[in-house]
């Protein structure tokens, strides 16, 4: 017998809610819709009353966006599938936080895949709470210097201010984050995930295949060959020849 999970739809557009409900009825019968809301206030009351396991959450709404709803909870008691029109910054942040989203107009295969992931997470009694925390912290400001990255540290969730990151080192399917306090944190992301998230205008730059540095944490460097950089924590790195110009340009900003 298939697992049945309860869900609500939060979207200010009536037609969007109708489409989601209809598609779920046809293609994802494991999801039982127990309510709908068109704004944050109604959604908050509905969640408290129905305690759904899954929320389809529109990002752009006139009376407070979907992220504002999530900030009302100390711990997110449900899984989230974001629903949005194209918003490059929000989508990048959602992807970086390893959360699922559906882009309007919704494609059936995307819906099936997102629901399947949510079902697996719920059945394993896991939680994406750390990813949601990460997302909300990253969305507080568009300036990556003030962003915080949420990582698991034992039984706690540690929020790392990205300005304190000295460098990030690739380690297979993981990355090690090193901070100016000489702490090391392990996260299940690729270096490319960080590179894409910070973007070309940030103070982070990949100096060779396995290292992404924060140029604000450079103590000294030389312009010769090889180009060697000393970080504030005493770590030295040789910059790949093809990356030298990019690194020096970052230092001029």
Residues 98 and 195 in one domain: no
Look at residues 124, 115, 139, 127 and name the one whose alpha carbon lies nearest to residue 75. 127
3-state secondary structure of 39: coil
pLDDT of residue 126: 64
CB 32 within 8 A of CB 78: no
Closest CA to 56 of 88, 89, 28, 75: 28
Name the domain boundary from 137, 169, 204.
137
Three-state SS at 108: helix
C-alpha span between 208 and 4 (Å, rounded): 48
User: Is residue 11 domain-resident?
Assistant: yes
132 and 70 both lie in a single domain: yes
Bond into 121 cis (ω within 30): no
Rg (CA), the chain: 21
Which of 114, 137, 160 is the last residue in one of the domains?
137
Q: One digit per residue, pLDDT tens: the chain, 253 residues?
A: 467 899 999 999 999 999 999 999 999 989 999 999 999 999 999 999 999 999 999 988 877 888 889 988 888 889 999 998 867 667 877 877 768 899 999 999 999 999 998 988 888 776 666 677 667 766 655 444 457 777 776 666 677 888 999 999 999 888 999 999 989 999 888 898 888 888 888 889 999 989 999 999 999 988 788 889 999 999 999 999 888 888 888 877 6
Q: Tell me, what CATH number does 235's domain have?
A: 2.40.50.1020
- The reply to whether 129 and 153 lie within a common domain is no
Using left for φ > 0, alpha for ψ between -120 and 50, and beta otherwise, residue 231 falls in beta
Q: Report the alpha-carbon angle 215-216-217, nearest 5.
A: 85
131 and 18 share one domain: yes
pLDDT of amino acid 234: 92
* pTM assigned to the model: 0.62
Q: What range does the domain containing 200 cover?
A: 147-251
Residue with tokens 């908050």: 44
Residue 98 shares a structural domain with residue 65: yes
Quote the DSSP letter at residue 239.
Answer: P
Cβ atoms 229, 236 nearer than 8 A: yes
Among residues 137, 167, 193, the one where a domain terminates is 137
215 φ, ψ (degrees, to nearest 5): -65, -20
Tokens 């609500």 — which residue? 8
Residue with tokens 């030295």: 236
**12 plus 66 within the same structural domain:** yes
Look at the chain and report how many structural domains it folds into.
2
State how far the Cα of 103 lies from the Cα of 171, in Å rounded to an integer.
32
Burial of 199 (0-12, 13-18, 19+ CB in 10 A): exposed
Domain of 34, CATH number, reads 3.40.50.2300
Does 160 reside within a domain? yes
Q: What local confidence, expressed as pLDDT, does residue 157 receive? A: 67
Is residue 133 domain-shared with residue 151, that is, in the same domain? no
| 199 lies in some domain | yes
Give pLDDT, residue 127: 64
């Amino acid at each position: 017998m298939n697992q049945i999970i309860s869900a609500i739809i939060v979207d200010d557009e009536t037609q969007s809610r109708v489409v989601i409900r209809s598609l779920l009825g046809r293609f994802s019968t494991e999801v039982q819709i127990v309510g709908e809301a068109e704004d944050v206030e109604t959604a908050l009351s509905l969640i408290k009353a129905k305690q759904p396991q899954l929320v389809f959450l529109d990002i752009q709404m006139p009376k407070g966006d979907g992220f504002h709803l999530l900030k009302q909870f100390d711990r997110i008691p449900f899984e989230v599938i974001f629903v949005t029109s194209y918003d490059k910054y929000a989508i990048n942040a959602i992807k970086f936080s390893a959360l699922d989203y559906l882009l309007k107009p919704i494609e059936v295969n995307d819906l099936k895949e997102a629901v399947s992931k949510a079902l697996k997470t719920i059945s394993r009694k896991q939680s994406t709470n750390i990813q949601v925390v990460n997302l909300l912290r990253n969305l507080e400001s568009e300036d990556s210097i003030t962003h915080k990255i949420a990582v698991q540290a034992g039984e706690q969730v540690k929020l790392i201010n990205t300005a304190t990151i000295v460098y990030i080192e690739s380690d297979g399917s993981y990355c090690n984050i090193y901070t100016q306090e000489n702490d090391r944190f392990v996260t299940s992301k690729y270096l490319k995930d960080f590179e894409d998230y910070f973007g070309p205008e940030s103070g982070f730059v990949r100096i060779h295949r396995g290292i992404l540095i924060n140029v604000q944490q450079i103590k000294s460097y030389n312009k010769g060959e090889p180009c060697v950089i000393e970080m504030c924590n005493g770590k030295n790195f040789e910059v790949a020849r093809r990356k030298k110009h990019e690194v020096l340009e970052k230092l001029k900003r």
